A and B are shown apart, each in its own frame.
Chain A
Amino acid sequence: MWKVASGVFLGWSLGANDSANIFGTGVTTGTVKYRTAILLTAVFVLLGAILEGPKCMATVKDISSLTAMEAFCCTLATAVTMAVLTFMAIPASSSQGIIGAVIGAGILSGTADFSKLYKIVSCWAFTPLIGIILGYFFYRSLKYLLNKTVNSLTMRNYIYFVGIIIAGSYGAYSLGANNVANVTGIYVGTGILSAETAAILGGVSIAIGVLTYSKKVMMTVGKGIVPLDPFSAFVVVLAEAVTLHIFTQIGVPVSSSQAVVGAVIGIGLSVDLRTVRPKVLAKIAAGWLLTPVAAGILSYLLIILITSGIV
């Protein structure tokens, strides 16, 4: 049972990191208090993980048949890869990390099923693209709708506030539903955990990460993003949430950060503004390639080291 410890650790770091994508701008601009933000995120992440988390678990467990020890190595390799890439300021995705690690372990054991990979990789490519489309669409349509129906300043202020809270809660729900598979989904295939138990355990570990260690990242991410107006901030979170939810229904865990960046670009396109610098896009592309490759190599090496008795 101790072998799920690395998964729980990965969940904790995912919660500490990715919650910034949901309420980061809301907290740093003072729209939502930090305490309110983390409580809402923790509750809805757990809810999403329990209600819809198992949908993505099948994808993770079907890529290759792993033993409990290999699963432990995969989650550990993903956690270490994410920590190193984050330290190098390269955006890393736990979804890509875990898939890369499972492939690495599968290559070693000869059980890797590459036929499933095309679906996963195409979903990764579509994540920022759908983020862009939804960001553009929501910005245009909701703005049109608001301009037609709500003209009062105070009412708009109220709608933006409630909108940010609702979109944030939905974002947290989608994050839990989509990303819990990265954390404990791998253990379902090994038979250590049932899908339901894995969802609860993963959800709780993400929620604990949100509650205990998300402040620093939330402040950094919130202040690092282009200062968005309340309406754009609402649209970004909504587009991210819907993107994650779509991929949850498809059953593929994807990166919430890439969905956010896509949504910000979408808004930039709809108002004819350059919201993301090419340098940032290059960094995201580097992370996109490096995370699965590095996690795959690391899990491969970790398994060799552990199974050969060196460690």
Chain B
Amino acid sequence: MFFDKILSHDKKEQRVIENIREHIKLLCTACNTFRLGIGKNNRKLINDVAELERKGDSIRREIISNIYNGAFLPYLRPDLCKFVEIVDRVFDLIEDAAFLYLSMEIPEHANREENKASFFMGIPEPVKNECGRVTFLNVRICEMLLITFEAMLKGEDLSEKTLAIRIYEKKIDDIKFNILEEIRKIDIDNFWEGKIVSDFIAAITRVSDIIEDASDHIQIISVSMR
């Protein structure tokens, strides 16, 4: 076991890194699929998000199992595991948002007959564009997380990358406040309709907060190994 570890060089670690990379890439795909699903009002794409979340779960389990099977120094293991768990929380949020989107009813004021073919779900019209912008920025912030992770692996300076993530997060926060102002003007017919819309907005705007936490954690991992 001891000599295996010395002779195998960093094979176990490379496998974990490869899996983490795949996990973040899958997150980018999930965010993009969600964005496209909303943009095209495509139920199939939205359903695919749940499938991607399950795949992400399986990769997360593999990463954690490999880490506790001896990859990396024990000093680093908790931080790596925590990073993976944080990324997994984003998957959960995107999946929640997808389910909430699917359970949204077409608002009473919309023309149901007209919307049936192409518009079977409904984000309230006054905030629809803003929600679209948030999902677009969510894809960008996930891609930035992948770039930050790659930079950390190479031992590069992370300050610019984490700054970019913070800027994206700030942008999304600003959009969130606009949405919250707009959404008050919308007539809600019943409690559940309002709650689903509110939860949906909360879910898509929280993604950036969690990605920011993940990028902070990348910074911690980087500093702790320097």
* A249 partner residues in chain B, CB cutoff 8 A: none
A153 touching B6, Cβ below 8 Å:
no
- Knowing A151-B156, A152-B155, A229-B224, the reply to whether A157 touches B5 (Cβ < 8 A) is no
The segment out of B41-49, B73-81, B186-194, B209-217 that lies at the interface is: B73-81
Of the candidates B2, B9, B73, B76, which one forms a contact with A33 in the assembled complex, judged by CB atoms under 8 Å apart? B2
**Residue A36 at the B interface, CB < 8 A?**
yes
- Knowing A29-B74, A31-B75, A36-B2, the reply to whether A157 touches B10 (Cβ < 8 A) is yes
Q: Separation in Å of the A128 CB from the closest CB of chain B?
A: 26
* B9 partner residues in chain A, CB cutoff 8 A: 158
In the complex, how many residues of chain B place their beta carbon closer than 8 angstroms to a beta carbon of chain A?
24
Task: List the B residue with the shortest CB-CB distance to A159.
Answer: B10
The segment out of A131-139, A160-168, A256-264 that lies at the interface is: A160-168
Distance in angstroms between the alpha carbons of A192 and B13 in the assembled complex: 54
Task: List the A residue with the shortest CB-CB distance to B13.
Answer: A154
Q: Separation in Å of the A181 CB from the closest CB of chain B?
A: 31
Interface centre among B73, B152, B155 (most CB of A within 10 A): B73
* B interface majority secondary structure: loop
* B153 partner residues in chain A, CB cutoff 8 A: 152-154
* A151 partner residues in chain B, CB cutoff 8 A: 154-156
* A interface majority secondary structure: helix
**Residue B226 at the A interface, CB < 8 A?**
yes
* B72 partner residues in chain A, CB cutoff 8 A: 157
Q: Separation in Å of the A83 CB from the closest CB of chain B?
A: 33
Q: Separation in Å of the A98 CB from the closest CB of chain B?
A: 34
**Residue A155 at the B interface, CB < 8 A?**
yes
Distance in angstroms between the alpha carbons of A150 and B72 in the assembled complex: 16
B152 touching A153, Cβ below 8 Å:
yes
**Residue B198 at the A interface, CB < 8 A?**
no
Q: Separation in Å of the B8 CB from the closest CB of chain A?
A: 10
Task: List the A residue with the shortest CB-CB distance to B80.
Answer: A153
* B224 partner residues in chain A, CB cutoff 8 A: 229
Distance in angstroms between the alpha carbons of A150 and B17 in the assembled complex: 17
**Residue B225 at the A interface, CB < 8 A?**
yes
Interface centre among A143, A154, A160 (most CB of B within 10 A): A154
Of the candidates B5, B152, B154, which one forms a contact with A161 in the assembled complex, judged by CB atoms under 8 Å apart? B5
A230 touching B75, Cβ below 8 Å:
yes
**Residue B115 at the A interface, CB < 8 A?**
no
Task: List the B residue with the shortest CB-CB distance to A227.
Answer: B75
Q: Separation in Å of the B218 CB from the closest CB of chain A?
A: 10
Q: Separation in Å of the B27 CB from the closest CB of chain A?
A: 20
Of the candidates B10, B17, B75, B152, which one forms a contact with A158 in the assembled complex, judged by CB atoms under 8 Å apart? B10
B225 touching A152, Cβ below 8 Å:
no
* A29 partner residues in chain B, CB cutoff 8 A: 73-75
Q: Separation in Å of the B155 CB from the closest CB of chain A?
A: 3
Q: Separation in Å of the A10 CB from the closest CB of chain B?
A: 30
**Pairs across A and B, CB under 8 Å, 9 listed:** A33-B1, A147-B226, A150-B155, A153-B225, A154-B10, A154-B13, A157-B13, A229-B224, A230-B76
- Which residues from chain A sit less than 8 Å from chain B, CB to CB? 29-33, 36, 143, 147, 150-158, 160-162, 165, 229-231
